[in-house]
Amino acid sequence: MTLSLISQVIITQDIPATVKRLESLATREQFVKILKEESFLVEDVKLAIEKAYLASQEQTILLLGAKLFSEVVQNRLLKVIEEPPKNKRFILLTPSKATILPTIRSRLPITVVDDMVADEVLGLELSTLSLETLYAFVQTHKRTDSTMMKRIVEQIVKSALYSQKYHLSAQTLQLCSDSFEALDRGSPPQFVLTALLLKLLTQQKR
């Protein structure tokens, strides 16, 4: 995948390596990097906005990277992304496209660096899914918010596909999109997760 230094969202499993690739493309651009190992926080947004409004005659690329950008964080970034200060560009780096809000997607192009996304360790063995393991997994996500749940749903469906342990029909695969829509409408994340896993359980190969 060819990278460029335009404002965009980059989906990558290796944020540090992708940042190095971007830096290697610079001619006169300078970089401001705010990279988090886990979640991008509200205070990180404040810092990014402060950096964006610092006067500079050079093109400045703000690289914002994290495993998760919550809805609150994305909404706070929206205005500065929509109307960036002069000579400023924003590149968001994150592992999952599912967590990016439609409002951000409509303003920034999405570049997928990894065509084959590596499965995260979900703490759920899909090849031996049972009612017991399903229930235990759902219980661990009683407080998971809708943004993170989208990411989990995406990884579950991919893992199920790669495992080849399921009879996955087009209708079943549509369940992933339906799960996203349900989460966007405000359905409880735990309920959406339960519905997805129960559907998969009925599709297990015997």
pLDDT tens per residue across span 46-82 = 999 999 998 778 899 999 999 899 999 999 999 999 9
Rounded CA separation 26/5 (Å): 8
Backbone angle region of 162, left / alpha / beta, with phi > 0 → left and psi within -120 to 50 → alpha: alpha
SS3 7: coil
What class, spelled out in words, does domain 8-112 have in CATH?
A: alpha beta
* DSSP annotation string for 45-98: HHHHHHHHTS--SS-EEEEEE-SEE-HHHHHHHHHHHHSPPTTEEEEEEES-GG
With a cut of 90, say whether residue 189 has pLDDT above it.
yes
Question: Where do the structural domains in the chain lie, given as residue ranges?
Answer: 8-112, 126-202
pLDDT band at 204 (very low <50, low <70, confident <90, very high): confident
- pLDDT level of residue 117 (50, 70, 90 thresholds): very low
Structure tokens at 98: 């599912």
Cα 23 from Cα 45, distance rounded (Å): 22
**Higher pLDDT, residue 32 or 115:** 32
What is the CB-side half-sphere exposure of residue 89 using CA atoms within 13 A? 18
Question: Does residue 126 carry a pLDDT above 90?
Answer: no
